Amino acid sequence: MKSLVIGAVMASALALAACGTNPGDRAASGALIGAGAGAAIGAATGSPATPSAR
C-alpha cells in the first residue's frame, strides 16, 4: 500500500511539474505539490502530525 501511495504521488508530481507559465504560477503549483507529497509520505509512514506529550 505504501508503494502505491508513493508511486501515485511521484506520478502526479511528474505530470504537474510543468504547470504554470510565469514564476508565480510555478511557485504556487510547486508549493501545492510539495504539500501534497509531504502529507502523503507522512500518512504512508505513520508520522504523527504533532509531537506526542510526555
Q: What is the pLDDT of residue 3?
A: 79
Block residue for cell numbers 506526542: 52
Give the cell for residue 4.
502505491
Q: What is the pLDDT of residue 29?
A: 78
What digits encode the pLDDT tens for the residues 6-53?
Answer: 888 788 777 766 667 788 887 887 888 888 888 888 877 876 666 665
Q: What is the pLDDT of residue 18?
A: 63
